[in-house]
Structure 1
Amino acid sequence: FGNIWKKKGYWVALKAFSLAKSLSTGNSKSFFVQQIQALE
């Protein structure tokens, strides 16, 4: 259980980092749409 949460936390941090990088390059909208599609 603990390991699952660690992996999930890492994944969330990675996504947040990617989103921040995307925002800084002005790609936020397309990135956001891609993430929603990836989750479906």
Structure 2
Amino acid sequence: MAVPKKRTSMSKKRIRKNFWKRKGYRAALKAFSLAKSLSTGNSKSFFVPTNTNN
């Protein structure tokens, strides 16, 4: 027989929401950092060809 589940407390809900938000924030920071290193030419993990007159 189906039994209704107990309600999640506001504090627990807030903690989970903040974890989720923090994951997105860290991913955005990482992407921004990578873009910055690519634009300045300091990237060590990507090969970016320079413009040559061919």
Please report the TM-score for the alignment, with normalisation by the length of structure 1. Answer: 0.62
Runs of 4+ in 1 over 3 A off after TM superposition: none
Measured after TM superposition, the shift of residue 24 of structure 1 is 0.4
Matched pairs, number: 30
Q: How many Å separate the matches in 2 of 1:25 and 1:14?
A: 17
State the structure with more CA Rg: 2
Measured after TM superposition, the shift of residue 23 of structure 1 is 0.3
Alignment gaps of 5+ in structure 2? 1-15, 46-54
Q: How does 1:23-34 map to 2 (within 5 A)?
A: 23-29=38-44, 32=45
Q: Which structure carries more helix by proportion?
A: 1
Q: Percent identity?
A: 77
